A and B are shown apart, each in its own frame.
Chain A
């Protein structure tokens, strides 16, 4: 045994103490609360996405002539293909939901404030990357709605002042949806965005480790409650339980509501109703309300505001008496997102 330890120790010169320090940093006591563990949930779902995504990529063929049939083959012919595809689809939904819930928690607890502004940027970037991964993934099926969703998405990008045509061209690999568009979406979905997300997650965690997690003390924790507890095994158990619950939830959703297939994309026939995936309902409804360039500019402004919110909030707190302005802005923002999403879901057109 000593020989083995020596062999490993020579090649991986990390002592047991260092390893323990690396993996077992004490975490604030408030992380015992489940809803503070939401940061790990998207990471867990991301791992599910990578695993199921690799399995799907074994069979997926990214060209307009073959994409639909390959997804059909995965769904109908490949052993457990329907299940893997359905888990992939539902994990995407849950991942986006978890990211949003995590962001709600971070926002309302002010965990983005100095000195954690950079991690807020990273978190926002992760949100954007996750949404883009969802958008490109939806397009890969090459069914009517995903094709037209991508086309409409590109046309919306086209309305952006100055850089619109460039953005559209970059999205579609040309001025119109063409043979190269799907492979571009596929590379973005299966390589560029996941790698970016991995790097951002690594950066996110590194910054957390460097700064430590924001500490909160709830009234019921006052007194003899310890300030911290061990990451390993205590918090890891929490994450594992969440992971198991998610696995059960994913399996149930995939089995009860398996991913379906609409009609194959037909560039000559615009469907009567075009809908993006649910996480773009809010943007789609916004577009319908304000139309074209106005909607694009206002959405750009909102995203810019979200990115720079730590500074805006800081300015408010420093120069005004509205110390909790962020809470009310947040309440309004979340309610607006929910309302627009539900509105779009209910609307037939």
Chain B
């Protein structure tokens, strides 16, 4: 072989090597830029979703754009991965040649995220739809609205209003957080829900008559009842029998972990007069630190483990769900796993839960112990694991004493007595069984549902103003200035109406309560305490208290 031929071989191989080097460097530079967060990851649209992406990029570019920025897109999880459906599913339909369903449920997400779906299914979040038969729902469906459609009583200029939806407040209010019972329009004018479909363990309807009643458009697409959809309430009751909606926290279609980790995400529902957790958090040192140090929160970290990926501040997710270095980075999708009091009911309950994750209400100690599967103390220890990343054990334990004290104070001084008075009124026939038709029922509801929760939640998350001024102060005012006088007045009217024994019974309950040491100041005065406070002020400030 001549030197000239070898020269050609060297040139060809050298050139090929340099070309491959340029190509490899291009790939490597892109990969490193991706790792450093300087460039979005390369997205390859899965073949089964290519047609969806092509069309929806034109029709609904936002959907595709959000998905393009998601981890799903990065890992090749396309539209069809989540929207695929069996022909037997109640809401499935043939869409441009592929069988899909519009509503993606936790059952669909569980195809990949089964552990998360299991945890979520056991959580109180998943059961949030149970409110659909509660006192709150009575408010929305009866007091605020009506459990019926009714005719408008006068015209609305410019609009031809034919009917008033009595459920509108529940549909747009309660159910957007708690979750709707998703319904399909029926051919008979009614609706078809999970109750009618009776799905089996795979989510396939067993009641074929109900399936036959499903109304469909000219393309065979089932018509989802507009009162129940769109809905991303966290306890949504789905047609396949699953409960909940993962998109309640993991907003579609980017399913951003970064967003789920931020308090604003929870603040869609956990805010307002009855459970202002978001505002309480913002008032707390935790929220203040988060606002200031958000840039140090490493919110894009893959696992986001407290003590490892960040320590700047906690968010809702940090304390209630995310992993921390002390628990080995274990994440939970059941926020109740770390909550030791439930402050939802009028009287706070210790979060001892049974095998079905229901709160144990048994009072006999022996029987109670047998029922408890996961005690409030175990739950508290899990939360303490989180706290201890930034606080000493003494600090955490003392905080919990303060929190317990406030909850117990509320329970004993106002909640249990309030319940006692309300029960006495019913027991003696001085209050109707219907809620919210008498002033005292509104007073009681405000006391525990709004003000009482604010106080307890305020104490649970270190927000002094919510604990005191928005909380216990208003509880006390409602108790002494509304509940007691209104109960007395009801008794007085009863006595005047000839129902003396009923009135006496109610008054006896009220007197019993007000004669307790913690209430005695109200009717017998508290001059001694006032004088003690005056003297303390004088000692401290050198001037008499005015």
A binding-site residues for B, Cβ under 8 Å: 35, 93, 97, 100-101, 104-105, 108-109, 143-145, 216-219, 257, 260-263, 266, 268-269, 275, 277-278, 281, 324, 327, 330-331, 334-335, 337-338, 341-342, 345-346
Q: Judging by beta carbons under 8 Å apart, are B23 and A345 in contact?
A: yes
Q: Which of B1, B14, B21 contacts A324 (CB 8 A)?
A: B1
Q: Whole-angstrom distance from the CB of A214 to the nearest CB of chain B?
A: 11
Whether B24 contacts A269 by the Cβ 8 Å rule is no
* B36 engages A262 (CB within 8 Å): yes
B40 to chain A, nearest CB (A): 14
Complex Cα spacing A292 to B347, Å? 63
* Structural contact, B20 and A35, CB atoms closer than 8 A: no
Q: Which of B9, B11, B28 contacts A327 (CB 8 A)?
A: B9
Contact in complex: B3, A216 (CB < 8 Å): yes
B426 on the A face (CB < 8 A)? no
Instruction: Tell me if A268 and B18 are in contact (CB < 8 A).
Output: no
What CA separation (Å) do A257 and B14 show in the bound complex? Answer: 23
**Is B501 engaged at the interface, CB distance under 8 Å to the other chain?**
no
> Which residues of A lie under 8 Å from residue B25 when comparing CB positions?
93, 257, 278
Chain A residues positioned under 8 Å from B305 (CB to CB): 268
Q: For the complex, what is the distance from the CA of A68 to the CA of B72, rounded to whole Å? A: 29
Could you tell me how many residues of chain B have their Cβ less than 8 Å away from some Cβ of chain A?
34
* Per-residue contact bits, chain B 6-30, to A (CB 8 Å; 1 contact, 0 not): 1101110110111011011101110
Given contacts A261-B36, A266-B308, A342-B23, contact A218 B13 (CB under 8 A): no
Q: What residues on B are CB-neighbors of A263 within 8 Å?
A: 35, 301
In angstroms, Cα B9 to Cα A108, docked, is 8
Q: Which residues of A contact B20 (CB under 8 A)?
A: 338, 341-342
Q: Do A269 and B302 touch across chains, with their CB atoms under 8 A apart?
A: yes
Nearest residue in A to B27 (C-beta to C-beta)?
A345
Nearest CB of chain A from residue B467's CB, rounded to whole Å:
38
Main SS at interface, chain A: helix
Instruction: Give the residues in chain B near A261, CB-CB below 8 Å.
Output: 36
From DSSP, what is the main secondary structure of chain B's interface residues?
helix
Are the C-beta atoms of B14 and A342 separated by less than 8 Å?
no
In the complex, what residue of chain B is closest to A218 when comparing beta carbons? B3
Rounded to whole angstroms, the CA-CA distance of A324 and B1 in the bound complex is 7
A212 vs B27: C-alpha distance in the bound complex, in angstroms? 41
CB-nearest residue of chain A to B10:
A108
Give the chain A neighbours of B160 by CB distance below 8 A.
none
The reply to whether A145 and B28 contact each other, CB–CB distance below 8 Å, is no
Q: Which of A100, A337, A345 contacts B28 (CB 8 A)?
A: A345
**For window 188-245 of chain B, which residues contact chain A by CB distance below 8 Å?**
none
Residues on A with C-beta less than 8 A from B33 are 260
Which 3 pairs show the lowest CB-CB distances between chains A and B? A262-B35, A260-B36, A345-B27
Shortest C-beta distance, A177 to chain B (Å), equals: 16
New contact pairs (6) apart from A93-B21, A97-B21, A338-B17, CB-CB < 8 Å:
A35-B10, A101-B17, A219-B3, A262-B35, A263-B35, A345-B28
19 A-B pairs with CB atoms under 8 Å apart are A101-B17, A104-B10, A108-B9, A108-B10, A108-B13, A218-B3, A218-B7, A262-B35, A263-B301, A266-B308, A268-B305, A278-B24, A330-B9, A330-B13, A331-B13, A334-B13, A341-B24, A342-B24, A345-B27
- Residue numbers in A under 8 Å from B1 (CB-CB): 324, 327
Is A104 in contact with B36, judged by CB distance below 8 angstroms? no
Q: Is the CB of A97 within 8 A of B18?
A: yes
What B residues does A260 contact at CB under 8 A?
32-33, 35-36, 38
| A331 to B12 Cα, complex, angstroms | 10
Contact (Cβ within 8 A) B4 A219: yes
Contacts of B265 in A (CB 8 A): none
Of the candidates A109, A257, A277, A334, which one forms a contact with B3 in the assembled complex, judged by CB atoms under 8 Å apart?
A109
B10 proximity list for chain A (CB < 8 A) = 35, 104-105, 108-109
Q: Which residue of A lies closest to B301 (CB)?
A: A263
Instruction: Answer yes or no: B329 CB below 8 A from chain A CBs.
Output: yes
- The CA of A275 and the CA of B28, in the complex, are separated in Å by 9
- Digitize B32-73: 1 where CB-to-A-CB distance is under 8 Å, 0 elsewhere: 110110100000000000000000000000000000000000
Q: Are B38 and A108 in contact (CB under 8 A)?
A: no
Residue on A nearest B5 in the bound complex, by CB: A327
> Which B residues from 55 to 99 make CB contacts under 8 A with A?
none
Name A97's closest neighbour in chain B (CB-CB). Answer: B21
**B264-312 interface with A by 8 A CB criterion:** 301-303, 305, 308
Contact of A331 among B4, B9, B14, B32 (CB under 8 A): B9
Known: A218-B3, A218-B7, A327-B6. A346 touches B308 (CB 8 A): no
Give the residues in chain B near A268, CB-CB below 8 Å: 305, 308, 329
How many angstroms between the C-alpha atoms of A331 and B11 in the bound complex?
12
Check B344 for interface membership: any CB of A closer than 8 A: no
Tell me, yes or no, whether B31 is within 8 Å of chain A by CB.
Answer: yes
Q: Which residue of B lies closest to A266 (CB)?
A: B308
Q: Which residues of chain A come closer than 8 Å to B21, judged between CB atoms?
A: 93, 97, 278
A346 to B33, CA, bound (A): 16
**Contact across chains for B4 and A278 when beta carbons are under 8 A apart:** no
Smallest CB gap from A261: residue in B: B36
Task: Check B17–A97 contact: CB distance below 8 A.
Answer: yes
Residues in B whose Cβ lies below 8 Å from that of A324 = 1
- The reply to whether A257 and B29 contact each other, CB–CB distance below 8 Å, is yes
* Residues 316-365 of B contacting A (Cβ, < 8 Å): 329
Give the chain A neighbours of B38 by CB distance below 8 A. 260
CA–CA, A269 and B305, complex, Å: 11
> For the complex, what is the distance from the CA of A142 to the CA of B258, rounded to whole Å?
25
